[in-house]
Every structure is written in C-alpha cells, then in structure tokens.
Amino acid sequence: MKTLISLLLSISILIGCTESSQKTLLSNPDKAIETKLAELIAAMTLEEKVGQMTQITLDVLIMPNSEPVVFDTLKIRMAFEKYKIGSVLNTPNNGARAPEEWNRLVGMLQDYTLNYSRLKIPLLYGLDMIHGASYVAGATLFPQQIGMAATWNPALLTTAGEISAYETRASGVPWTFSPVLDLGIDPRWPRQWETFGEDPYLASEMGKMLIKGYEGPENEISDKNHIAACLKHYLGYSQPLSGKDRSPAWIPENMLREYHLPSFAAGVSASAHSVMINSSEINGTPVHASKTLLTGLLKTELKFEGFAVSDWQDIEFLYQRHHVAESVKEAVALAVNAGVDMSMVPNNFDFADYLVALVNEKKVPMSRIDDAVSRILRVKLQLGLFETPMTYYKDYPEFGSEKSVEAARITAIESITLLKNEEGILPVSKNSRILVAGPAANSMRPLTGGWSYSWQGDLADEFAASHQTIFEAIQAVVPKSENVKLCQGVRYGTGDYRNEIVDNPAEFSRMAAASDIIVLCIGENSYTESPGNLNDLTISENQQNLVKLAAKSGKPLVFVLVEGRPRIIRNIEPLADGILLAYLPGNYGGEAIAKILFGDVNPSGKLPYTYPRFVNSLEPYYHKATEQLEAATPDGTTFNPQFEFGTGLSYSEFTYSDLRIDKINYAAGENIQCSLTVTNISNIPGKEVVQVYISDHYASITPPVKRLRAFEKILLQAGESKRISFEIPVSRLAFVDADNHWVVEKGTFTLQLGSLSTDFTVDETKVY
C-alpha cells in the first residue's frame, strides 16, 4: 500500500458526501471523563492495563454445561483477581436467556469484577444483538440486516436500534457487536445476510441510522436506554476470492476505498464507539496485523477515537492459520502494535501473559498500551458504568411491548419484496383452497436466521414457539382455516443447515391436486459464518424437484423465498406465477408474508443486491460496461441477472413524469437540484422507492454503468401525485483514481430516475 501521505481523502466523500461535518467522540470532550481517565491511567499497573485489553468468553468462567448456570469460583478468581479481565462476551452454553437470568449472570460478574478490582473498574459485557436483543428470550426480533436494507426506509432502522438498545440494556448488557457494515457484494459469502447489501451509499445511510438508534441522536450512551455500537468487520471481509468465510480477499486499494470503506467511514462519522476487525486478510496481509489499515487508515485518517476489538481468536490465528507469526506471542505483538486495542481471546488468559512480557521486553511500547486502555476506559466512562455498572429488567417495563412488536411487524412488512406477479396472481383470495409447502413453511428457524437465540439459529423453534410460522400465519387470516393445508414435501433436517428430508411425494401430489393455489416456501435454513459455506449457489435439488412436482398439478405456484442470500432459481423460476422474497424477516415474518399474500398490505421492499441468474455471473449492478458488450444470451455471458438491484413490484402502479434539473453545467463544489412527479395511477395506496442513479460517460478509470446517488421512500394514496426533489452534491460523483485519490473529473453525466433521464456536465476536475 502507498504511504499515508499520498492517501489523504475527504471523509465527506467517503460517507456519501453528506452535507454535515464529521463528528468524532472527542469533538467536544467531557472534561470530567478525561480527568477521571487520566487519573486511572496514572494509577494503573501494567497488569491492570493489560487486563482491560483482554476479553474472554463466558463459558470459560462457568461450570461446564451447568443449567442453571453456575460460576466456577476458581476461574472467577483467576480471571478477575489474577488477570484483572476487563471484558466478557457471549451467551452460556450457546443459548438465549430470560432477561432476569441475564441480570443475574452479568450482575454477578460485575460484583466479582468490582470486588477484585483495586481501582473499581467495571466490566464491559458484549453480545451479538444484531437484529434485536437476539440472545434474550422474549425480546423483539426484527428482520436481519439484509431485510432491513430491503425496506429502503432508514427511519425504520433508527426505531429498530432504539428498541434493540432498550431491550439489550434490560438484560444488563451495554454493548452490541452491531451493525455489520461489510459490503454485501458476493452472494456466495455466508454472511451476506448480515449486511445492508451491495451498494455503498445504501449501506452507509442504513448503517448510520441504526447506530443513531443504538447510541442516541447525540451518542448519549450513558443514557440507560442506549448502548455502544460496534462497526464490523473492518475492512474488506465480505469479498473473499473463494466466497468462503474467513478466506483471503484480493481487492485493489482504490476499490477497497471506493466501495468497502464508505460505510465504515459513515459509522465513524456517526461516532460509533467501537469497531471489530476483519478476521481474514487483504492482499496477503491479515487485517489484524495491518498497521496501515488499523492505525493509519482507521485511527489517523478517519480519526476513529473509539476502540478496536479483535474478532474471535483472531490474534492467535495470525500464528495458527495465517502463518505471519512464528508463535502466539509474536502474533500478540503484531496485532497490538498494528492497532488492536482489545483481544477477543476468548478461551484462555495467554494474551495477558504474553502482552505483559512483550511490554517488559520493550517489544510493545507502553504508549501503545496506554492508548489502547484509554480508548477502552473512555467508553466505559461514557457508558456510565462506573456510576451504574448494572441495569435491570424491572426498570424496563416496555420490554417486548406491543409497541415494539408493531415496529418489528412494520419493518418485516416493508422488507418483503415482490419479484414476480404474472397475471396478477397476487393477492390471493382468502376463499381459495391453499396448499402451503416447502421446508420453510412451518418452522421459525428459517425466518429468524443465524445469531437468533443461538449462534446458528438452531434454537428458534424452541424460543420463538409463540410466534407464527408462514403456514400458521396464513391459516390464521383466512375465514376457513380448513381451506389451508400443509404438506411440506421437503423438510430441513437438524444440524447442518443443508440437511433436507423428502416427504411422501404421492401425498403431496394428491393434496396439490385438491388445492386452488400452492404456496412454496423454499430457500435455506439458518446458518452463519463457516458452517454456511457452500460449493454451489443453486437452490437444492430436492427443493427444485418439489417445485417441478407441484407444477405437474397445473395449479398456480407462488414462491416465498426465505433465504439469507440469493440462491439460483433459474431452472424453476419460469414455473412460478408469483415470487415473494422474504429474506430473513424475523419473528413477525410469517405474519408479514401472509398479509402481503392476501393483499391486507401492499408490498414495498426493493432488492438491496443483484439477484444472479447464473453461478458464474455474480456481478453487482455497478458492473463495468464490458460486462454487457452483447445482448443478453441464454448462457449468461453478459450481465443478465435474474432480478436487478433496486427491483420490487407493488400492487399499485406508479408513473414518473416531468423530470427537471436546475441547470446542465455544474462546478465541482455545487449541488445538483433535480425533481420529478410520481403518480399512483392505481386504486390501491402504496409505497414507492424513488431511486436516483448517475452514470459517468468517460473517466480515467473505467466507470461503472451507474451508481446509486440518492433515494427516498414515499407513500402515495390512490390517484395521488407528489413532486419529489433531490439535492445531490457534485462531490458525491467522485471515484477513487489509480493514485488512490478521490476525484471528480470534468465531463458528461447521465442522471436517471426510472425510465426518465437527462444529461449534465461538470466543468472542472477536482481532487479531494
């Protein structure tokens, strides 16, 4: 990578050229906090400082497999008396707990910590509360992030963040490992569903609003209704060469900066308090060992002032997997000197022993230790943990309230994306005889996805039993429940999410023949991380065969795709009359799907990624012109996705007209003012996402065919027209050139809204 001197860039460009100036945690430092922090650092021993940098998993501290959970007093003394550990994470025995039980566990750990801490420094507890308080029984679970992105409604994310923060604090936990700001650009990657999709601008807008919900409008995390956010996984984690989790990425620096960095820059600008590091490597350098990316780019260039935590065991993996260190001790030196502040060790205390020795051997400077500990303790002070180390469920009467549930319902409804509706097959009449089939038809696990009650989400049917599956939700809203039948045909097995069991085909055919319409709930079971790796993106053969069997009945088919990533459906898509993409809609996904199927609500979701047609054609919407040199061909040799980014049908019909732009020539520092009229020409109220794309005709680096530069979701009543206006800074058109500078080059551009377009020019080149 080039020297930092040549890599200066504009933060406003990185975050999508918003008009507000960048905030940082210390823009207006709290003098009382900084005074207390200085006093603590001056009074702490090396061992106490290293303890603050050490995070272990809860299972280390409890008796193995104990239920109810019992702490191992010897391990407790070792952790807090000898090693002075400052942070704990995870859920015991890989299962969710009631909020009262979380209060007991975290409360006891805080008591142990304060009892053994000479300076009374409280514990910082963290959990993966990624779509609600997802490790707390009875909490309100929202759609996973990919579904949140499909709403194209950033305001919903602020509400989701607020409710998640409130219910997380009710459990006694002040820190979440969320949001995921990785770019969801590769559908093979098993964590794509944790992202906000493939577009940097959409991900930036969604991410900063979720952070606002978690941390509060002014990042007031001392407020007991808010929590500290954690941006993950910095940087470039989501585009591995193989598509497999935790495998190497090869990303040119200009692409890394232009596409992968903006969402993290937006998170830094939103003053998020922590960041988690990419587990893998970029261009041969593990990110945990990259001083250029951690200290240079993140902390110096982006001015990130929170703390950086490693991912699970990733410092040890510098030695064990990446082979850039000759020992775990050397790996600790590499990571800490690179800029990692806290090690998610998580299963032993070796990190602390090694780091103390490394400081004494002058291999890690005390200044680096003091910097790391200052960052960690500042967040503890900002959280108010010194004054109030615990929060309790009894003080959170709105936990799981109907108001919170309604917010999750609305988010699930707005996420569902209608991709196909041949001859108006949807909505379905409630008087129809309906066969509900497929492996996702009668299970909560596919709806909630991974990181729901357990790591792989395999406990969802136990913890979410009170919620409606798709079949139950359909049956609940029709006048005659006996008209709704269930015959799954294919069931997900236990364990490996790919495990499928074929039910009696003859029985399925008999029930299909007796129905008026068949709703096929197909896709994937829950998974995350490496267990979700696959070798073929095509939907499973068993499910394809089920669809073909259903088609033989001659009855209309509606697909409900419940999946974390777009599985290839090219061979069965022509058999479907209607297709709903549900993503991973959470506990209220069954209800949302049923309401849309019957027209009780109007679908408004839009694709946050490109839905591929072929396994060898996985280009994003911002592909280069050379991906479409010829007309689309059956073998997919050109850009020819199954469904394009931003696609989503409605039961309403909208028209765009009268596109206007304030002028045709702009200087680099000006704003583009554009407007158009959107009309709902149907008799059904509906929501439409107005998307603004801009194309650069010529550039010094081959330009993408188009880029999303603005969007707005609007509600139009039947027959209503609205004038919609956008103000887009010319600086938002910048790209990263061959010298890794952000630049707007003079030339001609096309602005496009739906089928309307107009050209304009920029009359000067400007480097930012």
Which residues are tagged catalytic? 311
User: Counting Cβ atoms within 10 Å, is residue 674 exposed (0-12), middle (13-18) or buried (19+)?
Assistant: buried
Q: Which residues contact 120 (CB under 8 A, 6 or more apart)?
A: 114, 386
Judged by DSSP in three states, 95 sits in coil
Which residue type occupies 140?
A: T
- Tokens 């029985």, located at residue: 507
DSSP line for 69-89: --B-HHHHHIIIIIS---EEE
Integer Cα distance of 313 and 310 in angstroms: 8
CA distances from 732 to 181, 201, 607, 701 (A): 19, 10, 22, 17
CB 426 within 8 A of CB 651: yes
Integer Cα distance of 130 and 161 in angstroms: 9
Query: Which value, in Å, is the radius of gyration of the alpha carbons in the chain?
Result: 26
Integer Cα distance of 272 and 266 in angstroms: 9
704: closest CA among 261, 263, 258, 262?
258
Judged by DSSP in three states, 715 sits in strand
Query: Strands across the sheet with 756-762, in order?
Result: 665-666, 756-762, 747-753, 686-696, 707-716
Integer Cα distance of 482 and 487 in angstroms: 13
Judged by DSSP in three states, 761 sits in strand
φ/ψ of 638, rounded to 5, equals -120, 175
φ/ψ of 170, rounded to 5, equals -60, -25
Integer Cα distance of 231 and 235 in angstroms: 10
90 CA to centre of own chain: 19
Q: Which residues contact 403 (CB under 8 A, 6 or more apart)?
A: none
Integer Cα distance of 576 and 554 in angstroms: 11
Integer Cα distance of 458 and 496 in angstroms: 10
Token pair recorded at residue 733: 């058109």
